[in-house]
Structure 1
Amino acid sequence: MPVRRLVAILLAASLLVTLVATPAYASRTPVDVVGLGVADLRVLLDQRKVTSLQLVGEYLRRTAAYENAYAGQPGVNAVIAVNPRARAEAVRLDVERRLGHSRGPLHGIPIVLKDNYDTRDLPTTSGSVALRDLRPDRDATQVRRLRDAGAIILAKTNLHEFAISITTISSLGGQTRNPYDQGRHPGGSSGGTAAAVAAGFAPAGMGTDTCGSIRIPAAHNNLVGLRPTLGLSSRAGIAPLAGTQDTAGPLASSIRDIALLLDATAGYDPADPVTEAAKGRIPAGYQSTLRPDSLRGKRIGVFTDNFGGSPAEQLTNGVVRAAIADMAALGAQVIELGRQPEVVDSAAKANRVRDEFERDLNGYLAGSAGGRPSSLARLEPPRDEVTLADIATSGQVTPTVLSTLRDWVASPPLPNPAYQEKLRQRDILRTGLTALITANGLDGIVYPTVNEPPTPIGTTQSYANCRLAGYSGFPALSVPAGFTAAGLPVGVELLGLPFSEPDLLAMGYAYEQATRHRMPPASTPPLR
C-alpha cells in the first residue's frame, strides 16, 4: 500500500475515534428537522452546527414515530426498507468533512429513493412481494451520482406496485397515507417518496414519472416535484413502465432543493441512449437562474382544458386561479389559451404504457435480476430468467395490479400498427404544444397539477392533467399553490419546451418565494 494512502487512512481513523468521542458529536440532543430542506441542512453542516450522523438519527427517529399507527392515526406507511448502513455512511461523510473535504452541496444529506431505483446494498422490489429478493449488482446511474455527490441513502420508499397507478398501494408496502389527512391517498406512483418527505422522514427524495407519478404526489403532499425533459436524466437501473415515457426526478420542499438534486443527477449516460439529447443542454448550475423577480415579463398561457367543472375540481380550480393571479401580480403576462381540442385529442391517444411495459420490464429484469431469485424465474419459460410472466404467475402482487399484469402478459410484439399510431399521436402532441407555445410567445403553460384534491383511500383519483408532459416528453414542474378550505394541498403546474428546466425553475422560484405555501403537516409534528 502506498505510504501516502496509509497515512491518510491512519489520519482518518484517528480523527474518527476523536470525533465519535467528542460530546458534540456523540450528543443525543434531538435536532428539529421539521421544515428544513436540503439547502438549510447544507448550511448547518457547513457551519458544524449539526453532523450527518445526528441528521440520520433524527430522521430515523421521526420515521419510527410516525410510520406506523400512533395517537389515533393509522400511520404514514411510506417506507419499505431502511438502510442499515445509513449511520455508518453518515460517520464516514462526517469524517471527510472534518478532514476538509466536501463533495458538494449534498455532502452528508440523507435522502430517500422510490423502491424502483436499483441499489447495490438494498433490495429493489418495485413494491412487489414477488421481487422482495431482487438484489441488483449495481446502483442505478442516478443513485451512483447521488452517492458520489455525498448523499446518504436513508431508505427505500413505497410506490404503487410497479409504478402502475397513482394511489400508492403495493403487496409489499401496503397502503401509503397522506400526512395532511391520513384517510386520503398521497398520490402516486411516487407516493411513498412524497409522503416521507412531507412527513419529515427525509428532506428530499427521488421518484419516477411516466404520467404524473412525481407531480401528482408533489401536489398532494405540498411539495415541489419536477418531471424532467425526457433525456435530461438517466433511467438506467430504474424499473421501467414505458421506455418512451419514463423519466426520473426529484421531490423536495423547495425549488432550490430541486435544483441541487438536479445538479447532481442530470446529464448524459451511455447506459441510457435517450440522454444523448442532454449533451450541451445542461447549464453550469440550475441554481444560477433562481431570482425572486424571475416572473417579471414572462408570458404564461393558461391551458383551459385542464380546468374541470365538477364540484371537486372547482375546489382545485379556485386555488390554482389564485396562484395564476399571484403570478400576474409578480409581473407575468397571463394569456388565456382557450380550448385546444387537437392537443387534448392527441394527448388522449398517445399513452404507450400498455404496449411497452412487458418488453421494457423484461429487459430491465434481465440485467438487474440476472435470473434471481431462481424460484421465481422457473415459474414460466425461459426458466433461467425473471419475466413479467413469472411475476403474474406467482400471484404475489396486490390484486388490482395483478389483474393488469395478467392482461399484459404476451403483449403484441412491437412495432405494430396500433403502437405506431400512438407514436404518431405523440408526435402530433409535441408539434401542437410547440406551436401553442411559440405562436403565443409563451415561457410556459400553467394549469392544475391534478384537477381534484387527494381522494379518500379506497376511492379513485383523476389524473388526466398529467398527459401533456407525460406523453410528449416535455418538462413540467409542480409547485405548492395552497390549500383547499378543508386543508388539503393543491399544486400548480408549469410546462415548458424541452430542456427549459432553468426557466421553469426560475418562474417557480419567484412564485414560491412570494407566496410561501409550503407548510409541514400537522399530523407529524416535531418530536420532543
Structure 2
Amino acid sequence: MQRRSFLQVSGAALAAIGAMLRDARAQDSGSFDVVEKSISELQAAMTAGRVTSEQLVEQYIARIKAYDQAGPRLNSVIALSPRAAEDARELDRERQERGPRGPLHGIPFLAKDNFDTIDVPTTGGSLALAGIVPARDAYQVRMLRRAGAVLLGKANLHELALGLTTVSSYGGQTLNPYDLTRAPGGSSGGSGVAASACFAAFTLGTDTSGSIRIPSSHNSIVGLRPSLGLSSRAGIIPFGHTQDTGGPMARTVEDIALILDATVGYDADDPSTAVSGGRMPRTYLTSLERGALKSARIGVLTEFFGSAPEDAEVAAVVRRAIDEMKDLGAAAIDVEVPDLARLVASANLLTQELQFYLGEYLQRAGAWATSVEDLLASGLHSASLQGILEVANAIPDDYLSSDDYEMRLAARETLGKALIATMDANRLDAIVYPTIRRIAPVIGGAQAGSNAALSANSGFPAISVPAGFTPGGFPVGIELLGRPFAEPTLLALAFDFEQATHHRRPPKLDVTPPAVPVPRDGDPGVLRANVTATGERSSPPVKVPFRANARFLFNQDTRVLACDVRLSGNTSAAAGVYLHRRASRPNGGVAHILSRSPSARVTSAVTLTEAEAADLKAGKLYLSVVSAASPRIAARGDLVFS
C-alpha cells in the first residue's frame, strides 16, 4: 500500500506528548477526568501512569450512560462496542511491554454509524440494516485501530446520511446539548454531539454536503471535510461517490491533525485516493504554528452571509471572528466569484447517484431492504427521508451514462477553476464564510441556510472552527475553504485562530429536557383511539407470535400524542414499537420510536409536527410492533380517532 506508516511516532507528535507529560506529572496522580481533554493530554496521562486506556473507556461509557442515556438524554450514541474494554486492556499490556504505537495508542473514539465495523452492527441508522455486522472495517476505522485507537462504539446520524437534523428509524432523534429543543445538525449529528459532550476523545463523520461541518458548527467543535481523494471512503455506506468524504471531528485543531495523520493516503479500494500521492506532509502537526494568520490573505465571500433577517445573528458572529483574524494580522478582502450560484447548482450531484450506489451496498450487505424502491415499499426508513428517497428513486436507470451526468461532472471542474481564479487573482490563502447561516431548527423542523455545497461540489477542502455564540447562546462556526490538498494551510489558519480566541465552550449537561405534558382522557381537545395491532393487518399480512392492544390520546392544542401499549403472546419475540406515517404507499416510514426494547407494557408520549398531526387526523399513522426475527415482520394497527 502506497502510504506512509503511522506506526512510528513522529518527532512533532513526541514533542507535543512530552510537553503534556511534564504537565501531567506535576498534577495530583490520584484523579483524572476525561472532560475536555485533548488527545495529547490523554496520551500524556497514560504515559505518566495516571490513567489506563481501559479506564478511559470506562469513563467515557459512564458519561454516555449519565448524559446520553439519562439526564438530558442526548441520544447521540447508537451502539457500544462489546470489545472496547478488552481492546483497551490489550493495548495497555502492549504499552507496558513494547511502548505506545503512536499518539493514538489507547485513545477511545466513536465512528458515525455509516462506517463499516466488524464488532458493532453498521445500520446507517436504518431499520433496513438492523443487526447487520460487516465482515471488514471501513478503511479509516482500520487505520485508526492500526494506530492503536480504541473503537468505543457508533454514533447516531440522520438516517443513511440523507439529511441535516439527525433523526433515524433505528436510532431516533439526537438532541443538541446547547439547546435540547433543537437539532444537532447533520447528518453527522451524533458524532458532533458526542465529541462536544466528551463521550469520546474524537469522532469520525462523513460529509456529502455539509454533514461534518454543519454539526461541528452547531456543537462548537472542529470538523474537516478533506480534499476529495485525500482519505479513503471504502467501507462507508455511500450517498454518492462523487461527493462523499469521511473525516475527523474533534474539540481541537491539533486533534484533527493527529487523526488525519492516521487516516489519509492511498487505498486501492478507493481509486479517488490515487491523486493523494506526494500531496501529503509527513505529519500535519508541523502545520500547527502560532502566527499563521499574521501574513495570511483571507477572502470574505460576502454572498454566503445571506441577506434575510434570519441570517443576521450568525453573520454578526462570523464578522466578529473575521475582525479577530484581522487583529491577528490577516488581510481580509471581500471577494465575489462570478455567477457563483449557477456554478454551484450546475455541479450538484447530491441525489442523482443515490439509488445506484446505496442499492449496491444494501444488496452486498444483505440488508432487509435491497434497493431504494424496496426501502420505500417496506417502510424500513425514517419518514423524514420520504421526499429524498422518492426523488432518488425517480432517477432513470441509465442516468450514469447520460449527458446530464457528464455535464454535472464537467461543471465541478468549472466551479473549481472559478474558485482557483478568484483565489489567484486576490492572492488568497483561504476563503471564509459562515459554515451555516442559521442556527439549528427546533426538533421536527428543517435546517435552512447551508453553505456546504461550495466545498462539496468542488471537492475542495474546508474546515469549520468555533467562531463564538449567538446572543441566545447557540454555537456558530466559521468555515475556511482552501485549494485542493491545502489542508496544512487550513489547519495552520484554524489553529492560530483557535489558540488566540478559544471560542469553544463545552455544553452544560446537568439539565433535563422539558417535560412533555401528557394528555388525559376527558380533557378539552383530546382525541382518543383504541388500536389492535396484529400480523394480519400488516402489508403484506404476516404471522407473528404476538399482538398489541394500545390506547392513544392526542391533544390537538399541544400536538402531544400519548400511548399505552400492551403486548400479549410471545412478547420476547418483539424488538421494537414504532409509529409510522404513510405517504402514497401502503407502508410508510418511521415517524417516532416508541420503544426499542419493548416489555409487556410500553408507555410513551411524543410531540407531533403540524404535518404529522394533520396526517394523524387523516388516518395516515399506524402502530407497528417489529419482530426480532426481521424488521419486515410486524404486527400493525391503524390509528383512527374518535
TM-score (norm 2): 0.73
Partner of 1:308: 306
Task: Quote the Cα distance in structure 2 between the aligned partners of 1:524 and 1:206.
Answer: 26
Whether the 8 Å contact between 2:221 and 2:249 is mirrored in structure 1 is: yes
Instruction: Give 1:524 shift.
Output: 5.0
Q: Matched residue of 2:205: which SS?
A: strand
1:489 corresponds, among 450, 454, 475, to 475
Instruction: Give 1:68 shift.
Output: 2.9
> Does 2:428 match 1:442?
yes
Task: Quote the Cα distance in structure 2 between the aligned partners of 1:474 and 1:348.
Answer: 16
Q: Matched residue of 1:296: which SS?
A: helix
* Structure 2 counterpart of 1:502, one-letter code: P
Partner of 1:46: 47
Identity of aligned residues (%): 49
Whether the 8 Å contact between 1:42 and 1:106 is mirrored in structure 2 is: yes
Instruction: Give 1:446 shift.
Output: 0.5
Whether the 8 Å contact between 1:110 and 1:153 is mirrored in structure 2 is: yes
Task: Quote the Cα distance in structure 2 between the aligned partners of 1:524 and 1:286.
Answer: 36
* Structure 2 counterpart of 1:354, one-letter code: T
Q: Matched residue of 2:265: which SS?
A: coil
1:111 corresponds, among 109, 112, 116, to 109
- Aligned runs of 1:122-133 on 2, under 5 Å? 122-133=120-131
Higher mean alpha-carbon deviation, 275-284 vs 342-351, is at 342-351
Partner of 1:365: 362
* Structure 2 counterpart of 1:113, one-letter code: A
Task: Quote the Cα distance in structure 1 between the aligned partners of 2:43 and 2:360.
Answer: 38
| Distance change >3 Å, CA 431–CA 524, structure 1 → 2 | farther
Task: Quote the Cα distance in structure 1 between the aligned partners of 2:70 and 2:48.
Answer: 37
Partner of 1:137: 135
Higher mean alpha-carbon deviation, 463-472 vs 230-239, is at 463-472
Radius of gyration: which is bigger? 2
Partner of 2:347: 350
Task: Quote the Cα distance in structure 1 between the aligned partners of 2:443 and 2:239.
Answer: 24
Which protein has the bigger strand share? 2
Instruction: Give 1:518 shift.
Output: 1.3
1:506 corresponds, among 474, 492, 497, to 492
Partner of 1:176: 174
Write the deviation string for residues 117-139 of structure 1: whole angstroms up to 9, x where unpaired: 00011111110011112211100
Whether the 8 Å contact between 2:82 and 2:119 is mirrored in structure 1 is: no
Task: Quote the Cα distance in structure 2 between the aligned partners of 1:431 and 1:199.
Answer: 39
Write the deviation string for residues 381-410 of structure 1: whole angstroms up to 9, x where unpaired: xxxxx3333323221111121343244226
Partner of 1:232: 230
Whether the 8 Å contact between 1:268 and 1:279 is mirrored in structure 2 is: yes
Partner of 1:516: 502
| Distance change >3 Å, CA 31–CA 84, structure 1 → 2 | farther
Q: Matched residue of 1:490: which SS?
A: strand
Whether the 8 Å contact between 1:212 and 1:463 is mirrored in structure 2 is: no
Whether the 8 Å contact between 1:236 and 1:271 is mirrored in structure 2 is: yes
Partner of 1:3: none
Q: Matched residue of 2:295: which SS?
A: coil
Write the deviation string for residues 387-445 of structure 1: whole angstroms up to 9, x where unpaired: 33332322111112134324422631212122223223222211111111111110000
Partner of 2:271: 273
Partner of 1:392: 376
Instruction: Give 1:170 shift.
Output: 0.4
Whether the 8 Å contact between 2:343 and 2:415 is mirrored in structure 1 is: yes
Q: Matched residue of 2:165: which SS?
A: coil
Instruction: Give 1:455 shift.
Output: 2.0
Instruction: Give 1:523 shift.
Output: 2.2
Task: Quote the Cα distance in structure 2 between the aligned partners of 1:407 and 1:302.
Answer: 35
Task: Quote the Cα distance in structure 1 between the aligned partners of 2:224 and 2:387.
Answer: 30
Instruction: Give 1:454 shift.
Output: 2.0
* Structure 1 counterpart of 2:46, one-letter code: L
Partner of 1:62: 63
Task: Quote the Cα distance in structure 2 between the aligned partners of 1:507 and 1:424.
Answer: 31
Instruction: Give 1:62 shift.
Output: 0.5
Task: Quote the Cα distance in structure 1 between the aligned partners of 2:208 and 2:470.
Answer: 27
> Does 2:452 match 1:454?
no
Whether the 8 Å contact between 1:312 and 1:453 is mirrored in structure 2 is: no
Write the deviation string for residues 224-272 of structure 1: whole angstroms up to 9, x where unpaired: 0000000000000101111111110000000000000000000000100
Partner of 2:214: 216
Higher mean alpha-carbon deviation, 83-92 vs 303-312, is at 303-312
Write the deviation string for residues 18-67 of structure 1: whole angstroms up to 9, x where unpaired: xxxxxxxxxxx874211112122111112111111111001000000111
- Aligned runs of 1:377-416 on 2, under 5 Å? 386-409=370-393, 411-412=395-396, 413=398, 414-416=400-402
Tell me the number of residue pairs that the alignment of Structure 1 and Structure 2 aligns. Answer: 480
Q: Matched residue of 1:508: which SS?
A: helix
Q: Matched residue of 1:280: which SS?
A: coil
Whether the 8 Å contact between 1:305 and 1:344 is mirrored in structure 2 is: no
> Does 2:249 match 1:263?
no
Whether the 8 Å contact between 2:435 and 2:450 is mirrored in structure 1 is: no
Higher mean alpha-carbon deviation, 46-55 vs 254-263, is at 46-55
Instruction: Give 1:171 shift.
Output: 0.3
Instruction: Give 1:181 shift.
Output: 0.9
2:452 corresponds, among 462, 466, 479, to 466
> Does 2:204 match 1:201?
no
Partner of 2:418: 432
Whether the 8 Å contact between 1:42 and 1:109 is mirrored in structure 2 is: yes
1:85 corresponds, among 45, 70, 83, to 83
Partner of 1:8: none
Partner of 2:288: 290
| Distance change >3 Å, CA 441–CA 41, structure 1 → 2 | same
Whether the 8 Å contact between 2:209 and 2:350 is mirrored in structure 1 is: no
Whether the 8 Å contact between 2:337 and 2:418 is mirrored in structure 1 is: no
Q: Matched residue of 2:203: which SS?
A: strand
* Structure 1 counterpart of 2:65, one-letter code: A
Stretches of 4+ moved more than 3 A in 1?
Answer: none
Write the deviation string for residues 82-135 of structure 1: whole angstroms up to 9, x where unpaired: 111111111001111111321110000000000000001111111001111221
Which protein has the bigger helix share? 1
Q: Matched residue of 2:432: which SS?
A: strand
Q: Matched residue of 1:167: which SS?
A: coil
Partner of 1:166: 164
Higher mean alpha-carbon deviation, 197-206 vs 339-348, is at 339-348
Whether the 8 Å contact between 2:31 and 2:50 is mirrored in structure 1 is: no
Partner of 1:150: 148
Structure 2 gap ranges (5+):
1-29, 512-642
Whether the 8 Å contact between 2:376 and 2:389 is mirrored in structure 1 is: yes
Task: Quote the Cα distance in structure 1 between the aligned partners of 2:186 and 2:346.
Answer: 22
Task: Quote the Cα distance in structure 1 between the aligned partners of 2:388 and 2:479.
Answer: 29
Structure 1 gap ranges (5+):
1-28, 378-385
Q: Matched residue of 1:162: which SS?
A: helix
Task: Quote the Cα distance in structure 1 between the aligned partners of 2:227 and 2:387.
Answer: 31
| Distance change >3 Å, CA 310–CA 84, structure 1 → 2 | same
Whether the 8 Å contact between 2:221 and 2:466 is mirrored in structure 1 is: yes
Whether the 8 Å contact between 2:460 and 2:481 is mirrored in structure 1 is: yes
Task: Quote the Cα distance in structure 2 between the aligned partners of 1:522 and 1:216.
Answer: 20
Whether the 8 Å contact between 1:108 and 1:150 is mirrored in structure 2 is: yes
Whether the 8 Å contact between 1:395 and 1:402 is mirrored in structure 2 is: no
Write the deviation string for residues 326-371 of structure 1: whole angstroms up to 9, x where unpaired: 111111111111x43412221123211221111111233344x1xx
